[in-house]
Amino acid sequence: MALAQLGGSIARALRQMSNATVIDEKVLSECLNEISRALLQADVQFKMVRDMQTNIKRIVNLQDLAAGHNKRRIIQQARPLHRKAIFNELCKMLDPGKPSFTPKKGKTSVIMFVGLQGSGKTTTCTKYAYYHQKKGWKPALICADTFRAGAFDQLKQNATKAKIPFYGSYMESDPVKIAVEGVERFKKENCDLIIVDTSGRHKQEAALFEEMRQVSEATKPDLVIFVMDGSIGQAAFDQAQAFKQSVAVGAVIVTKMDGHAKGGGALSAVAATKSPVIFIGTGEHMDEFEVFDVKPFVSRLLGMGDWSGFMDKIHEVVPTDQQPELLQKLSEGSFTLRLMYEQFQNILKMGPIGQVFSMLPGFSSELMPKGHEKESQAKIKRYMTMMDSMTNAELDSTNPKLMNESRILRIARGSGRPVKDVTDMLEEYKRLAKVWSKMKGLKIPKKGEMSALSRNMNAQHMSKVLPPQLLKQVGGVGGLQSLMKQMGSKDMMSGMFGGDR
Ligand SMILES: Nc1nc2c(ncn2[C@@H]2O[C@H](COP(=O)(O)OP(=O)(O)OP(=O)(O)O)[C@@H](O)[C@H]2O)c(=O)[nH]1
């Protein structure tokens, strides 16, 4: 089951529970069974799923909740509690409780990469080096893979492209010797991040583990990173454990999380190695690499596909103190770069406004192409970096003419991005501002109406808050109804912008 589907299934189970008039043992069990099924299908290990179920049941003590409250109160109190318990449990499954070794800029660290053949190790070594190089580090790559013909060429090619120094040999067949020589050389050259790529083998052969152990012993890495293909399925746990038993794995990178990756593999690898996932690979390119953060990841997992009305989303994701302001601005149709920045922050948390925009006919494919969520996220982060170099006046202005050439140049320099990126970002802003202007006339629900609305959101309610011209565009209440139905079953994601660019 792909990650998006896993999120969708969990969200559906939660939604069913939310719709129940009374939440009792039976409803909770059904919801948990549904979630467990989704997790198992996503290759999360059986034992982990069972433990999660037990833990949630222990946390959510229905008897306590029921005492002294009327039914309505029970539902209101129980729902967020369940959500929170499920959220916490999933976070716990991904959080081994201790951070991994973090290299320090300017201080030499040796990082050794291990993993099965084809897991994406070599590609990931370069991505890891490139990521740090962009942040001002001095990384270096060593190819200690003497098993696969072409491994050195691949690393050399990648390293050259990224202008990262590398070391390897076509003649030497002893990986330990190469690794030691490489580490010595790069230590002399004052590199602060020395990355050793080891060989991967087809199966879990004893020779691979012995070789890996020897390289580790000889180079004394500060951190061993286990690279795992995100789509390997139930084998993830055993595989990760086998590596952990031979070398001191301290962190995990899960690759190929784009496309058909399974969510469960990451969870299993964490459980097996007792190490955190630190990055995920989201494509074949050098910059398709993201820092992994447990909470936003789980938020997204739970939020995906859970589209029960855009008020609901705003209610859940936008911090309470920002809600009136956001709604006010929505109704005024005024859209500043600062507002865009704030929405980016919210989107990275879960993704509400992207979903709101996706309801506007004609905009959905433009703003959130399916299957490009990760690129959209990376782009959002880039845009935010550039906006960090903007002045308050620039962020708060609604006048597009303000952004003249010298300001654009200054922002590009300040954020270390090419001018084209800044102009692209401003173009997106203009486009969004245009979309935003369609929200003008939005009726803001009064205090107290908001939560009732978000609980019982249906097309009828939705039609009351949408601006009339927008409602007309979607084909009135009927059109809205079918649109919302469609939305509920679709993989919704936090991506907002176009894909490849
Ligand atoms: N879609 C996608 N492809 C990836 C990702 N990471 C690596 N790949 C691809 O996976 C394939 C295998 O990657 P390599 O880096 O050669 O794998 P390896 O583990 O070093 O292989 P060995 O050196 O044989 O052990 C290549 O085609 C990569 O482009 C990713 O995050 N997403």
Q: Tens digits of per-residue pLDDT, 443-497?
A: 554 444 444 434 334 555 555 555 555 555 555 666 555 555 444 322 222 222 2
CA 126 / ligand 1 centre spacing (Å):
11
What's the distance, CA 309 to chain centroid?
Answer: 23
Same domain, 172 and 59: no
Q: Is residue 494 part of a domain?
A: no
The alpha carbon of 255 and the centre of ligand 1 are apart by a number of angstroms equal to: 8
Q: Are residues 30 and 139 in the same domain?
A: no
Domain that includes residue 236, residue range: 109-297
Q: How confident is the model at residue 52 (pLDDT cuts 50, 70, 90)?
A: confident
Q: What is the pLDDT of residues 198-257, one digit of tens each?
A: 988 765 578 888 899 999 999 999 999 999 988 776 777 888 888 998 899 999 999 987
Binding site membership of 145 for ligand 1 (Cβ less than 6 Å)? yes
* pLDDT higher than threshold 90 for residue 183: yes
Q: Please check whether residue 196 lies inside any domain of the structure.
A: yes
Considering the domain architecture, whether residues 261 and 339 belong to the same structural domain is answered as no
265, 297, 329 — which closes off a domain? 297
Is 302 a member of any domain? no
Kindly state whether residues 441 and 461 are assigned to the same domain.
yes
- Same domain as 128, residue 74: no
179 within 8 A of 144, measured Cβ to Cβ: yes
Task: Output the CA 129–ligand 1 centroid distance in Å.
Answer: 15
**DSSP3 helix / strand / coil % (the chain, rounded to 5):** 60, 10, 30
The total number of structural domains that make up the chain: 3
Residues 313 and 233 placed together within one structural domain of the fold: no
Same domain? 278 vs 312 = no
Which atom from ligand 1 is nearest to the alpha carbon of 117? 25
The reply to whether ligand 1 has any atom less than 6 angstroms from the CB of 120 is yes
Instruction: HSE, CB side, 13 Å, CA atoms: give it for residue 90.
Output: 27
Last residue of a domain, one of 277, 297, 317: 297
Pocket lining: 133 vs ligand 1, CB cutoff 6 Å: no
484 shares a domain with 441: yes
Is the domain of 79 the same as that of 177? no
Kindly state if the Cβ of 117 falls inside 6 Å of ligand 1: yes
Q: For 313-351, what is each residue's pLDDT tens digit?
A: 455 555 666 666 666 666 666 778 887 777 677 666 544
Residue 369 belongs to some domain of the structure: yes
Q: What is the CATH number of the domain that holds 384?
A: 1.10.260.30
285 DSSP 8-state letter: S
Max avg pLDDT among 96-100, 107-111, 312-316, 388-392: 107-111
Pocket lining: 148 vs ligand 1, CB cutoff 6 Å: yes
Query: Domain containing 237 — which CATH number?
Result: 3.40.50.300
Q: Measured from the CB, is residue 146 less than 6 Å from ligand 1? A: no
Q: What is the pTM of this model?
A: 0.59
Angle at 19 between CA 14 and CA 20, to 5 degrees: 100
Please check whether residue 501 lies inside any domain of the structure: no
**252 beta partners:** 226, 277
- Nearest one of 256, 182, 250, 267 to 219, comparing CA atoms: 182
The answer to whether the Cα torsion of 182, 153, 213, 196 is positive or negative is: positive
Residue 274 shares a structural domain with residue 327: no
CATH number for the domain spanning 13: value is 1.20.120.140
Note whether residue 500 is domain-resident: no
DSSP string, 5-25: HHHHHHHHHHHHHHH-SS--H
Question: Are 199 and 235 members of one domain?
Answer: yes
Hunting for tokens 């990055």 — which residue is that? 279
191 shares its domain with 328: no
Q: Which of 44, 65, 94 is the last residue of a domain?
A: 94
Kindly state if the Cβ of 281 falls inside 6 Å of ligand 1.
Answer: yes
| Token pair in block for residue 428 | 């997106």
